[in-house]
Structure formats: structure tokens, C-alpha cells
Structure 1
Amino acid sequence: MATPQNTPMLTASVCVPETVHGTHSFKIDRYDLHQGFGVGNCIQSANFTVGGHEWCIRFYPDGYNEDNKDYVSVFLQLKTKNIEVRAIYNLAIQPPVLPSNFANFSDGPPVVFDTRNDKLEAWGFVAFKKKSEIEGSSYILDNSIIVACNLTIITLKDAKEVEAGLVGDIQVPPSELVANLSKLLGSTKGADVCFKVQNEVFHAHEIILAMRSPVFWAEFYGPKRIEHRHVKNIEDMQPGVFRGLLHFIYTDSLPPMKDLNADGYEEMLGHLLVVADKYDMKRMKSMCERKLCHRFDQETVATTLVLAVQYNCSILKDACIKFINSVSTVDGVVASKGYQQLKRECPTIFADMWEKAAKARKF
């Protein structure tokens, strides 16, 4: 008689974090009276509750510190004391002409707000937007601006046992949104706007451009919008750079640049960073900045540092300074084409380099 074989036990468990979502709009009236408020001084919203915790928005009209006095600074602060909260947050200066649920920024990774640690109780941006870009723009309506915050609170839960057959039965196909959207890149189907860049013409879709860029939204739908013209001339950009901008708008990724040599690749990244800043494409700008942090050498670091200073890329700036201070000799940097431009356009950066070099020698 055959010996019965033991049937293996099949068990399963699942862990699903709980999330709570909330949105707060902070309207600042009489914006002109808040100018000249002073560096380091903030306007604070009323406290609001999301996920059972108290929060507020801090807005610095003259910048958080002297290094960023030409920018407004915006932070989200956890007000509930002696607690740690894991959250995803988004902050934006919301053009009043947009619907209240408008949010033109990508979700970032979760961060930890911790009121037991002064350095972690608030997260935000010290150089959120240039003051000159806000004043006289579509962001101001009736002398008021709106700072919007989207907040998702994440609560981790213990795993629960479930029936084994309930786990993994349904295979959900991957999202096709980006793939479908990318099919419209360069297509004339449904296109309602054309851009002429030098001798090249690019077809696009107004609503997609506006959805991705607050600058395009203001241009097409804002109170100071320019009357519709079938062809819009872009005179301050190369065709390849504008093509790269459209590629990112439709695909959420940087354009392929495999056909460029090392110098051409770095130069194109710089151009894409500039155009991302111009059209307020924060994710695109950050991606360019991250790639540039790994591309410069003694011949190009000065040029890259100028770019970082002019477009307030603090991480890229620090990476350039660290590289310059780490080389055994700066002769190659001084002899580069970008060094004279650095001295001429960013003379104060040398004080930063000396200060960081002095601090490095102490360790």
C-alpha cells in the first residue's frame, strides 16, 4: 500500500499601509504689503488637520535666508508635538485662474516629519520661485496669491493573514497612460497649436502643454493670455532643445541623447535644465541637475557652476565646489573657457568655495 504524501500547507499574508489625503489652500491678500517683509520672516497659515495631525504652511516672501533673498520660500510644518509622521507632500503657488484641484507637480517620495527633532518638523523649498516671476504674473489676481498644499499621511500597519488563493490571483496590467500619451508626441491628430523654432515647426496640444506646465497654462488660459495664433515663434531656443522639452511633456522622461558625444551630452543637459526652469518643470529640472552632477570635469566644471548659480541648483552647485576643492591642482579649472565667465558673472561664489574648503580642512 502506497504511503500517502504530506500535502504542503499554503499560507499568505498581506501588508497594506493606510493613507489619508488632504488639501489646504492658503490665500495671501494684499500681497504688495507683504513685500519687504524681511529675510527670514514668514507668513503662517491657520492650522489645518490631516490624518488627525495639525499642520500649517509657512511662506517667506523675502526668502528663508540671505542666500535665497531673491526667492520666496515655502514650507509645510507639522504642529502636533512629540510625534513622528510619514507623509508625501506637494506645495505650489496656484494660479487663481486654475481650478481648485489643480496640481502641476509630481509626487515625491515619502518623508518623515518629526517634532521631536527641530530639523525634521518642516519640509519645503528655500528657493521655491523667484520673486520677479511672481510679481506682475498670472500668479497674482486682485493683489492676492494662493499657496496650495496636497498632503498624504501614511500609516504603516501590521501584516494580516489572508487566504492563500486571494494573493496574486489577479494580474493587473501595467499603466499605459504614458505610452498612450507619448503617441501624441509630434502627431498632428488633435493638435491645435504649432511652434516655429528657427526653421522647424512642431505640432502640439494646448491642453497637454498647459496640464504639464503652469507657464503654458498661463499663456493659453490665463488672464494675460495672448490671443490664439496658429503658429507661435520661439526665438530664444534651439530646435533640439524644444524637441527635448516636448519629449518630456509627453513622456515624462528626458529625450534620448545616445548620438551625442560627451561634450554635446553635457551641453544638451544644460540647455534642458534652462528650458525646464523657464517653463517651471520642476521634475525635469531636477532630473537634469542630477545627471549634471556626474558629468563635469576640470574643463567643464566652471561652466556648470555658473549654470548652477544662475538657476539656483543648490545640489549641483555644492557638487561643483566639492569637485574644485578636491582636485590636486586647479590649473585645469582656471585654464578652462568657463572660468572667466565664472569670475565675471558669479564673483561671490569664490567666497563659498573658500569657506567650504576651510571647513573641509578641519575634518
Structure 2
Amino acid sequence: MASSTCTAPPPTVRGVHHFEIIGYRLIKGLSPGEYVRSGAFVVGGYRWSVRFYPGGFSPPHRAHVSAFLKITTNSARAWARFDLRLLDRATGLSRSVHRAAAPVVFDYSAAHKKCKGKRGARAFMPRAELEASPYLRGDRLTIECVVDVVVAAGEAVAPPPRRLRAPPPDLSKHLGDLLDQQDLADIAFHVGGEVFRAHKVVLATRSPVFMAELYGGMKEKGMERIAIDDVQPLVFGALIRFVYTDVLVLPGDLEGDDYKEMVRHLLEAADRYGVERLKLVCESILCRSLDGNTVETTLALADQHYCKALKDVCVQFMSLGL
């Protein structure tokens, strides 16, 4: 007599989280083992986060980017399927890159947190393939994580933690919207044939030079237009955007020497207007992108604009004969 068995899949609770990485260029130089992580999200009563290693999980994987899903609820042990995907923001479609078709254990107990607290792929995708793909647009990358947590029969799903958490800061978003809308703009900069409208109070708050020009002894009565002749429009636009949002946004089609040259000009503008955080961001980028063809130029730039950390890196680079 023939027989067969049908086993129903275990009941699960699904959650989807989008981890958006803005400013990929700023993190692509991280060393193997260094990562950025998403905010915490709750599925099936457990807290989770996504970890992304732009320099690879370890030195043997430095040619790849790595990605993992990690359970972050203390002393928790859960079974879950997961799918790490890349989202094409232009089409809204996502592609599965690494998935666990069957449930696997996530164990955050003291004995297992190193080996079973996170699951994913050390060779998630070759870095060169990712950077040439449609999933990296405008220096932004979105990882979509789909999690199916297994719920035992008759088990009630634990509710999310009741503790209220403050939402992520959104001041930079609102100021960025203000810059884009320009409804209350009260100053116009004429730069290389282009006009940049802005708000005096925002500029003065973020830059001591703008404060002096717009409200101090350097102020011209009734001044509403300022002509700037020695800064490229692309550079000035990136400077103003950073002043409002604290985020460096550069054109996505800049590559190689053109990208480095843009960063050098931006460092000069940041020093000129006293935007110290932008100056440090530019220093960091140039430190990570030194080569034999540009080190002397970069050293001269660092010396001229008092960038001690960048100068030290250039000197060390030259002393090692790299």
C-alpha cells in the first residue's frame, strides 16, 4: 500500500526593512571588518539590524562587499528565513542576492552571539559589480531585507517593545526641503552664470564667514545679491547643500581624477567659508584616495589650507615610496 505525507510549513511572521545608505563613496574605503548598520527594526517580537561591510567581512573578502542580518534582542533565540536584496530605486524592483530558503537559527546568547547571532554572505557581491550596477545610483544604495520569523504552533507573537523611541533626526531633511523650495530665500549668489538662492539666517548659522558677510561689519546695506567669481558653480552648489543638510552630495558621474579634483576644490571652498565639518569630510576622502600621481598636489593643498591630518598622511605616503 502506497502512502505519502504532506507537511505544512511552519507559521511565520514577515517583516520588510529598507536600509538606505547615502554617500556610498564616503564608506567604500572602510577596511575589511568595518561595517555600517541599519536602525533596529522589529519582526516577530525580536529586534534585528542589517550590517553592511563595504570593504568585505575580512581580508580574504576585500574584493567583495558583505552583508548580514543580525538579531539584537539580548539572550534571544529565534528561527527565521531571510532574504537580502538590492533595490533599484529607479524601477522600484529588487533583486535577491542572498537568501536562506529554510529557517536558520539566530542565537544571541552569550555562548553563540559571535557565530550564530548574525547570518548572511561574506561574498555578498563583487565590489566592482555592485559599483557598475543600477542598484548604486546617485551615490545611494538600498538593501531590502525580508525576514520570516517562525512562530511555534499556539505561540503568540511577542509585541514590539513598548518603550517609546525618538524618531531619527529629520532637521537636515527639512532644511534640504527648504533649500529646494526656496520659498523664503532672501539672498542670491551669482556663480559662473548660475544663480543659487538661499536663506541668510541658515548660512550665517553654519558659517562664520557668511555671518560676517551677511550680518556683520562686512555687510552691505540692502545686499541681496552676491557675485562670486573664483568658485565653480558645481563646487558652490555642493557647499550650499552641505551647509543645509550636513551631507556631501556630488554628481554620480564623477569618476577617478575628476572626482578627486572636485573634492580638492570643495576643500578649498570649505576652508574659505569656515565650514569645518565639510573640510574634514574632504580631508578624509583625499586621505583614502592618495596615489603616486596626486600625492604632491595633495600635500601642497594640505599645507596651504592647514589640514594637518591630510598633510601627515601625504608625508607618510611619500616616505614609504608608495
TM-score (norm 2): 0.49
TM-score (norm 1): 0.43
More strand by share: 2
